Amino acid sequence: MAKKSDIIRAVSAQVGDLTDRKVGEVIEFVIAEIKSRMRNGEAVIINDFGKFYTKTVRAKFIHNPITGKKEFHEEHKTPVFRFAKGIIADLNGIQVGGESGTEITIKHKE
């Protein structure tokens, strides 16, 4: 499993101009910006990667299997991330093609 520090080192090595510390600061800023925008109800779309957004979960009673009692959960927001189709296709060995993004055709790799 890769950790944030592994990604920081890889980016720093690839870029070359930035220290691990600076790359770490940039990554922290990006994460903070995504969280801030989601807190304000905005979706954050990173092309060719995915979409961060929040989903409202309605208030409801749930059954606690440990205590056997019903508990009330208030309405709340939960974070959601949806991967871009290209990433999903790549992970499954499928090529995604089309002209200028207007048409998507999925072809299995041979």
Per-residue three-class SS string for 54-92 = EEEECCEEEECCCCCCEEEECCEEEEEEEECHHHHHHHC
Q: What pLDDT score does 93 carry?
A: 84
- Say which DSSP state 17 is in: S
- Is residue 52 very low, low, confident or very high in pLDDT (cuts 50, 70, 90)? very high
Instruction: Tell me if 16 is assigned to some domain.
Output: yes
Instruction: Tell me if 84 is assigned to some domain.
Output: no
Instruction: Tell me if 66 is assigned to some domain.
Output: no
- Say which DSSP state 95 is in: E
Instruction: Tell me if 35 is assigned to some domain.
Output: yes
What is the C-alpha to C-alpha distance for residues 39 and 54, in angstroms, rounded to an integer? 8
Spatial CA neighbour of 60 closest among 70, 73, 48, 49: 73
Q: Which domain holds residue 24?
A: 1-42
Check residues 96 and 102 and name the one with the higher pLDDT: 96
For residue 110, pLDDT over 70 is answered with no
What kind and span of H or E run contains 45? Answer: strand 44-46
Q: What pLDDT score does 91 carry?
A: 87
Q: How many domains is the chain partitioned into structurally?
A: 1
Q: What pLDDT score does 53 carry?
A: 95
For residue 78, pLDDT over 90 is answered with yes
Q: What pLDDT score does 97 carry?
A: 63
Instruction: Tell me if 14 is assigned to some domain.
Output: yes
What is the C-alpha to C-alpha distance for residues 86 and 104, in angstroms, rounded to an integer? 10
